[in-house]
Amino acid sequence: MLEDTPTPFPQHILLTPGPTPIHPRAQRALLREMLGHMDPEVFALNREIQADLREMYGTAPETFTALLAGTGSLGMEAGFANLVEPGDEVLVCVNGSFGARMAEMAARYGARVRQVTAPLGEAINPADVAAQLGRASLVAVVHGETSTGVLNPLPEIADVVRQSGALLTVDAVTTAGMEPFQMQAWGIDYVYTGAQKCLSAPPGLAPVAISDRALARHAARRTPTPLWYCDFGGLRDYWVDQSYHHTVPVNLHYAFHAALRAALEEGLSARQARVQNVSQAILAALAPLGFTPYVTDRAARLPTVLALRLPAGFDDAAIRGALRAREISVTGGLGPTAGLIWRLGLMGEAARPAPYRALMTALEDLLGERGLVSRFDEALNAVPA
């Protein structure tokens, strides 16, 4: 909520795996006066955004970065549209809904798609990727699978792919900005996220980074990029040459810049500590009720999306509906896990004690249980300073 600004809207507690609560600095930035997308001040802002994205993604010094005017799904699609041509062999890692979306998109752009899979709730095995690489020209993987709360072993997968010479495209929607990410060191060629996830900016922008290898692959295309809007060449026209391609959402750029700068100023280690502390407190509060981690392998748990298996007899729809009536949003399972799990967002501004303390207070009332708030606070207080 804006400081000293009255609002007719009730305060809402957003605990979903995206979007996340907007950072106050981003909220204020939305209110600035409109400037044209070709204004020198906007181009100066864009240069700062590009530099900050290089820091967040851990890129080489001159790696091309940009904001796509769309959500993370546009970031996903832009990668396949620019780097895949009909008949190309593409290997997609699938262990949840967003890996499956990658496979569908690649196929729509004419790729011959093969999949390396893992059961829901389990991570992709790098050895399986190595065994199925074949002649793939591109490999695609979701770093943090939002639908199940699984963290895939990206550095190990990237090492396998790098040895093959294939390009690697990565969905970092629930990791970039909250978890370690090293594009240059790991050998990643294309990465995207969504502004509304770990950075707590408004939805509507997909921050991307594109390696020189990926740009060379794009330049050598046999056919024009079928997605004109996000053609890498057109993006470079605007972001590098400052020539017109399409109108960008200027105020979203200002809000994103504010949110990203706030994240970088806080520092990755501090952000990771926030996530870990709140996550431990949630588990301490809910475990006596029968909530258990959906991902059994601790190493494969995605810190930013806490997936919890619901207790036997728990009325998922009714409880989440009652919470929504109290202005608290919690997300259930997706597809096969609907009614089976809750997915609690621990990204950006959601990864703070206050909103989850409010959840515990509401659950005490709705479930007729006591002790959730005290267990939550005790776990927080037990964390070393």
Binding residues: 343
One DSSP character per residue, 301-343 reads B-TTEEEEEPPTT--HHHHHHHHHHTTEE-EE--GGGTTTEEE
Instruction: Give me the residues paired with residue 293 across strands.
Output: 308
Strand bridging mode 144-145 / 167-171: unpaired
**Nearest to residue 301, comparing CAs of 56, 134, 121?**
121
Cis ω before 226 (30° cut-off from 0)? no
Measure the CA–CA gap between 199 and 322, rounded to whole angstroms.
28
Count of positions (residues) in the chain: 385
Known binding residues for substrate are 343
**CA distance from start to end of the chain:** 28
Q: Under DSSP, is residue 140 helix (H, G, I), strand (E, B) or coil? A: strand
Strand 328-329 versus strand 13-14 pairing type: parallel
Please give the Cα distance from 12 to 206 (Å, whole number).
25
Residue 258 · residue 29 · CB < 8 Å:
yes
What order do you get walking across the sheet with 305-309 strand by strand? 292-293, 305-309, 341-345, 331-332
